[in-house]
Amino acid sequence: MAKLTLTETKTLPLNFTLPVVAAAGAFFGLFVGTAQGSGLLGILIGGALCAGLAYLAMVVLGVDGERMFKWGAIVGFAVAGFLIGGFPGLVMGALFGWFIGWFIYWIGRGRYREKLVPYLTSGQVLWYYTFRVICGAIFVFLITPILVVMPLSFNSENFFTFTPEMLRFDPEGYSLRHYRDFLNSSEWQSALKNSLLIAPVATLLSVGFGTLAAIGLSQPHVPFRRAIMAILISPMIVPLIISAAGMYFFYSRIGLQGTYLGVVLAHAALGIPFVIITVTATLVGFDRSLVRAAANLGANPVRTFFKVQMPLILPGVISGGLFAFITSFDEVVVVIFVGSANQQTLPWQMFTGLREQISPTILAVATILVGISIALLTTVEILRRRSERLRGMSPG
């Protein structure tokens, strides 16, 4: 007979399981009740319903009826969701049914402790999961606007709201018309062209100056390293409107205000701090004996840098370059101050469209920018893990 763990043979007391499950049901009931016109009623019904389901699962069905209970919860809540909100309600109801079926047994059978060390106190276990719930809530709060914008970009109408057809998942409510408008509009294409002309050049300058600065500041003999580092990363700390105003007055005096070079230099200044931070973090695990060994073998500093040092810090350099590119490509405040109408970038065009002529094409452009940002950040994460493997900081 297979050896059973404690959580597979023991059910926790109902005076613990029922209140926890009821609290979860009340939380979700708050949203459903508010949508139906009474948040308090939703809390009461959600809490009582989930507590009753927990009693049914733990006392009546037990562990032998777990599979049947989970499928019953999915089907039951799916039907209830369909009656309340149609097809979207069916989808949300099925998801909630799956969650509550899993959550009841996860709590009631003590499975939440399976991956934790056994000597943790109840308070420590509570804080362990409370901290994760708080982090998850913050993540949802930050990501929700993106989740709203992306489906709206496929709206077949010129509205910034979900139409009844979209809520019913009717194919006629969705369209690529706003993406076609973006591709066929001379104004949007001109703004895209400007962004593609400015961001790569600004990124190259940021990577070059930022990498050299990081390598120089990593040397222990450099005086006032902390002060110089603080000055170089100040564009990341100082409010952007202050930096933009300062650049405007400075560039206007030297003749760079309203020029392509001025915008590129301004964006490069904003991207340099990201390169410095990522390259500096990479240099922390760099073995400097390799540089001395290359020098002993007759390599000059330039050859040593490109043949020995650069391959090892390359993931950090590329990561910093990607951050600098995102900063330049998405920046709007500085380019409004420093640039002119000829340097109108994609974010500037979006800002102008929101202020003067509201068009759902902005939603399509925002979705494209979000997709680009996600792809670049995913690349950054892959490079970060590769860098850790190269430096022996994580298993291969």
Question: What per-residue confidence (pLDDT) applies to 198?
Answer: 92
pLDDT in tens, 174-208: 888 888 888 888 888 888 899 999 999 999 999 99
Question: What per-residue confidence (pLDDT) applies to 1?
Answer: 37
- Which pTM does this prediction carry? 0.68
- CATH 1.10.3720.10 segments of the chain: 185-390
CA dihedral 68, 71, 73, 74 (to 10 degrees): 180
pLDDT in tens, 199-256: 999 999 999 999 988 888 887 777 888 888 888 888 888 888 898 898 999 988 888 8
Q: How many residues does the chain have?
A: 396
Question: What per-residue confidence (pLDDT) applies to 4?
Answer: 41
Cβ neighbors of 390 (< 8 A, separation 6 or more) are 312, 315
Q: Are 329 and 235 in contact (CB under 8 A)?
A: no
Backbone angles phi, psi at 60, to 5 degrees: -80, -55
Instruction: Flag residues of the chain having pLDDT under 70.
Output: 1-12, 285-287, 356-357, 387-388, 390-396
SS3 string of 250-280? HHHHHCCCCCHHHHHHHHHHHHHHHHHHHHH
| CA pair distance 396, 390, nearest whole angstrom | 9
Radius of gyration from C-alpha coordinates of the chain: 28
Question: What per-residue confidence (pLDDT) applies to 387?
Answer: 65
Instruction: Specify the residue for token string 């939440």.
Output: 112
Q: Are 113 and 7 in contact (CB under 8 A)?
A: yes
Q: Which fold has domain 185-390?
A: MetI-like fold (1.10.3720)
Question: What per-residue confidence (pLDDT) applies to 2?
Answer: 40
Cβ neighbors of 158 (< 8 A, separation 6 or more) are 359, 360
The distance in angstroms from the start CA to the end CA of the chain is 37
| CA pair distance 69, 218, nearest whole angstrom | 60
